[in-house]
Structure 1
């Protein structure tokens, strides 16, 4: 038993601090989020690509992210300079992000995305590979 009042107060403060640290929820980091393609193939021509932004810790979709960077190219087939047009279109499902792209030829394509997740610092960046087929 601690008899010194100062030592007793210090022990109580240390115990309280230790208990409050373990009771705090784990904070997410930007590396806890990732984009996933819903399909790994698309038809050549006008295509709609759908990707889901997920929290890797829970597997749940992340709604309301702001996608500010998007690029589509044929880097998987060693043609980085072969790019195409891409535009974001609306989606009715939370955490699902859709893009309309013109896939000019069959082969491997890479969709590069950059997004901000509300409440997080940093940018979620992913490069997703899929195949365009005739």
Structure 2
């Protein structure tokens, strides 16, 4: 009888470990990360640089080495979504800052759409950021 109780205790302990492992090691989701503009006003023209910061919202720490796989620059805030500009990734100069060269062909409202994968996370981090191009 004593041996049966030990087997039951062992089975219960294994079940508890299995549940704890399955539910206790939840990963962060895309909502735990945020892209934000470094500057809200950027000088118009060819060669304009748009910089965004990627932060882990849980810790406030910058996120390095995310893989940016989609970008789009357009004038949607001024009702001209079809007016798009090319975007070229530039090397990072500081942790968690992602820089992009573009051609802000006119002053006004611009939208920068960005999507990236954070290493170790299954969800995509996406954001649409609005800023002003100024003369």
Fold similarity call, TM over 0.5:
yes
After TM superposition, the score normalised by the length of structure 1 is 0.84
2:126 equivalent in structure 1? 125
2:34 equivalent in structure 1? 34
**SS, match of residue 94 in structure 1:** coil
Residue-by-residue CA offset, 1:16-68 (whole Å, 9 max, x unaligned)? 7657839x555211221121111111011131111011111111111001111
After TM superposition, the score normalised by the length of structure 2 is 0.83
C-alpha separation in 2, matches of 1:28 and 1:10: 35
- Please identify runs of 4+ aligned residues in structure 1 that moved more than 3 A: 3-20
Aligned-residue RMSD, C-alpha: 2.3
1:106 equivalent in structure 2? 107
Q: Unaligned regions of 5+ residues in structure 2, if any?
A: none
Q: Unaligned regions of 5+ residues in structure 1, if any?
A: none
Residue-by-residue CA offset, 1:105-129 (whole Å, 9 max, x unaligned)? 1111000011111111131111111
